[in-house]
Amino acid sequence: MITFLISIVLLVVGYFTYGKYVEKVFGIKQERKTPAYAQEDGIDYVPMGTKSNSLIQLLNIAGVGPIFGPIMGALYGPVAFLWIVLGAIFAGAVHDYLTGMISIRNRGAHLPQLAGKFLGNAMKHVVNGFTLLLLLLVGTVFVSAPAALIHNLTGNWMSLGIIVGLIFVYYILATLLPIDKIIGRVYPIFGALLVISAIGIGGGLVITGAPIPELTLENMHPDNVPIFPLLFLTISCGALSGFHATQSPIISRTTKNEKAGRKIFYGMMIAEAIIAMIWAAAAMSLFDGKSLSAIIANGGPAAVVSEVSVTMLGAVGGTLAVIGVIILPITSGDTSFRSARMILADYFNIGQKKFSSRLWIAIPMFVVSFLLTKIDFTLLWRYFSWANQSTAMLALWVGAVYLKRSRKNHWIATIPAIFMTVVTTTYICNAPIGLGLSMNVSYLIAGIVTVLATVLFFKSKFDEREALTVDDDREVA
C-alpha cells in the first residue's frame, strides 16, 4: 500500500514540478493566435474551453490501454509501478505535451506532417504508415474490447455482432460530424462515469487496506518474467504511448490559448497514469501472479476488470465501474478513426468542410477495421504494442529535433527517445511477430540502431533560418 500511495503522490508532484519545467523549456506565447481561431472551420478547428479540452483529451488517450495494459503488466509485480511513475513523468507526459504544443505552433499539424518537417520528407511517409496502422489497430481493439464487456454485462441477451455494429455506427457519426456536435456534448457524461469508476476502485483499495505488494529489491526482477523490453510495451498507455501523439493534434485544433497546454496535455497524461496505477494495484492485490495469469488466459483482461469491480464495489457499484471501463475504449476508438480521417485528409490535401469529402475517406477505414475484428485480440494487441511504442519513439525524436532547432534543452525529449529506440528495436528483432532472433543478437542490433540514430541526431546541423522556422509564424496574432 505504501508504494502505491507514494506513487500517486509522485505523479501529482511531477505535474506541478517537472511539468512546469517542461512548459518553461518549451516557452509558451499567450499572445499567439492558436489554430482554433486562425483556421476555424466549424468541423475540426473549433475553439473550446480548457475544461472541455482537458476532459476530451483524457478520454481520448485513456482507452482500455491504462486498464488492460497495467492488468497484464501486473504479472511483473510492483516493478510495474516504477515504470508507470517514471515513464509518465519523464517520458509520457513530455511526449504528449510536446506533440500537442508543436502541433499548435504548426497549424494543428498531425504527426506525419511534423515528422516530415523535422525528420525529413521520407519520414513523413514512414510515420504516416505507422500512425494509420496504429489508429486502425486501436480503433479495432476499441470496438472488440467494449463490445465484449457489454456482451457480458447484459447477460449475453444481445448478440456480440449487433453490439459491434452499434459501436461502429457511433464511431462513424463521431468521425464525420463536427467535433462539438457529438464528442463535445457526450464526453462530459462519459467523463463522470470514468471518474466514478476510478474513484470507486481506488477508494476501495485504500479503505479496505488491500494487500498491494510493496516494491523491494527482492521483487525488482520477477521470476521467469523478462522485464526488458516486454514491460515497456505491455504497459504503454499509463506510462508512454505513441497513440497519444495521434490524439493531441485533435485538441491542438480546439485549444484557445497556449497556456492551457500544460493542463490539457501534460496533466491529462498524469491523470491517465493514476488510472493505470489504480488498476495495476487492484490486479496485484486481489490475485496472486498465478491466478491472475490464469484469469487473463481464460477471459482476457476484461474478465479481471469485471471481477475486480464486483469484488471491490459489489454488484451495483461494480456494474457502474464496468460501465466506466466500457466508456474508456469507446471514447478513444471514436477519435482514433477521426484522427485517421484527418491524417489522410492532410496527407492527400483534401478539404474537410464538405461532408462527402469526409465520407469517402472514412468508409474504407471502417471496412478494413471491421475485417480486423475477426482477428484474435491477443494477436492484435501484440502488433498494437509495437506499433504504439514505435510511434512514441518517433514522436519523441520529433520533439528532440524541434527543441534542438529552437536552441532549447532537447534532453527532456532526447533521453526518452534514445531509451525507446532501444526498447522497440530489441522487441521487433526478438519477438515471434518480428525477426525472431535471439535476445543477445537483438540487443546488439538495437544498440547499433540506437547509436546510429543518436549520432545522426547530434551530427545534424541547423542554421539560424531553420531555428526561426520551427514554428509556423503565419498564425501569430
Residue 178 has pLDDT above 60, yes or no: yes
- Quote the number of domains for the chain: 1
Q: Poorest-confidence range of 72-81, 293-302, 329-338?
A: 293-302
Within-domain flag for 402: no
Residue 68 has pLDDT above 70, yes or no: no
CB 420 within 8 A of CB 94: no
Residue 295 has pLDDT above 60, yes or no: no
CB 225 within 8 A of CB 235: no
Task: Give the pLDDT mean for 75-97.
Answer: 93
Domain housing 85: 2-389
Q: What is the CA radius of gyration of the chain?
A: 21
Residue 239 main-chain phi, psi, to 5 deg: -130, -60
Within-domain flag for 64: yes
pLDDT score recorded for residue 296 = 54
**Exposure letters 85-114 (e unless 16+ CB within 10 A, then b):** bbbbbbbbbbbbbbbbbbbbbbbbbbbbbb
pLDDT score recorded for residue 329 = 75
> What are the grid coordinates assigned to 118, written together?
523535422
Angle, nearest 10°, between helix axes 2-16 and 18-26?
Answer: 30
Of all residues in the chain, the percent with pLDDT exceeding 90 is: 38
pLDDT score recorded for residue 452 = 96
User: Can you tell me the distance from the alpha carbon of 421 to that of 443, in angstroms, rounded to the nearest whole number?
Assistant: 11
pLDDT score recorded for residue 324 = 66
398-425 pLDDT tens trace: 999 999 999 999 999 999 999 999 999 9
Identify which has the larger pLDDT, 188 or 104.
Answer: 104
CB 73 within 8 A of CB 298: no
pLDDT score recorded for residue 394 = 93
Q: Poorest-confidence range of 11-20, 50-59, 242-251, 459-468?
A: 459-468
Within-domain flag for 227: yes
pLDDT score recorded for residue 409 = 96
Label residue 393 by pLDDT band (50, 70, 90).
Answer: very high
Residue 475 has pLDDT above 50, yes or no: no
CB 174 within 8 A of CB 338: yes
Label residue 468 by pLDDT band (50, 70, 90).
Answer: low
Residue 385's CATH number: 1.20.1740.10
Within-domain flag for 245: yes
194-250 pLDDT tens trace: 777 778 888 888 888 888 888 887 777 666 667 889 889 888 888 999 889 988 999
Other C-beta atoms lying within 10 Å of the C-beta of residue 355? 11
Q: Poorest-confidence range of 95-99, 298-302, 321-325?
A: 298-302
User: Can you tell me the distance from the alpha carbon of 293 to that of 311, in angstroms, rounded to the nearest whole number?
Assistant: 18
User: Can you tell me the distance from the alpha carbon of 15 to that of 250, in angstroms, rounded to the nearest whole number?
Assistant: 22
Task: Give the pLDDT mean for 83-107.
Answer: 96
Mean of all residue pLDDT scores within the chain: 84
142-165 pLDDT tens trace: 777 778 778 877 777 788 888 888
Alpha-carbon torsion angle 355, 356, 360, 362, nearest 10? 10
List of residues 6+ apart from 270 with CB closer than 8 A = 11, 12, 14, 15, 19, 88, 89, 93
pLDDT score recorded for residue 441 = 97
User: Can you tell me the distance from the alpha carbon of 414 to that of 410, in angstroms, rounded to the nearest whole number?
Assistant: 6
User: Can you tell me the distance from the alpha carbon of 216 to that of 263, in angstroms, rounded to the nearest whole number?
Assistant: 33
Number of residues that this document lists for the chain = 477
Nearest Cα to 194, choosing from 59, 311, 64, 56? 59
pLDDT score recorded for residue 306 = 66
Within-domain flag for 403: no
pLDDT score recorded for residue 453 = 95
User: Can you tell me the distance from the alpha carbon of 441 to that of 462, in angstroms, rounded to the nearest whole number?
Assistant: 35
User: Can you tell me the distance from the alpha carbon of 92 to that of 267, in angstroms, rounded to the nearest whole number?
Assistant: 11
pLDDT score recorded for residue 87 = 96
pTM of the model: 0.86
109-142 pLDDT tens trace: 999 999 999 988 888 888 888 788 878 877 877 7
Residue 476 has pLDDT above 50, yes or no: no
